[in-house]
Amino acid sequence: MGQDLVWQVQPGSAGIPHQAQRNWVLFRGDEPVVQIQTIWQRLDHFDVIMESGEGTYQVHMDLARRGAALGGLEDRRDGKRSRL
């Protein structure tokens, strides 16, 4: 039978401040399987960097430009950067 997956969240992350940086880790048992870092400034930008066994992924959303929702999604597997 499979093991439970559990998120570990940085303390004090329940509120949503004007700007911040947060770290999240997904564990399978005692083993970290995914790490995520979120960085944002309200009405300006939102960035997510996710690392797993498959590689590193990054998303940037430019919230300052009207009509721009997704600024870029990159796959950084094997040290290569390519747009998805």
State the total domains in the chain. Answer: 1
- What length is written for the chain? 84
Task: Report, as an integer, the average pLDDT of 66-71.
Answer: 49
Q: Are 28 and 5 in contact (CB under 8 A)?
A: yes
In the block, which residue shows the tokens 């870092």?
37
**In 3D, which of 13, 11, 76 has the Cα closest to residue 39?**
13
Does residue 84 have a pLDDT over 50? no
The pTM of this model reads 0.65
Angle at the Cα of 7 from the Cα atoms of 5 and 9, rounded to 5 degrees: 170
Residue 3 has a pLDDT of 74
Convert the pLDDT of each residue in 9-59 to its tens digit. Answer: 766 656 777 888 888 999 998 899 999 999 999 889 999 999 998 889 998
Structural domain of 54: 5-11+18-83
Residue 72 pLDDT: 46
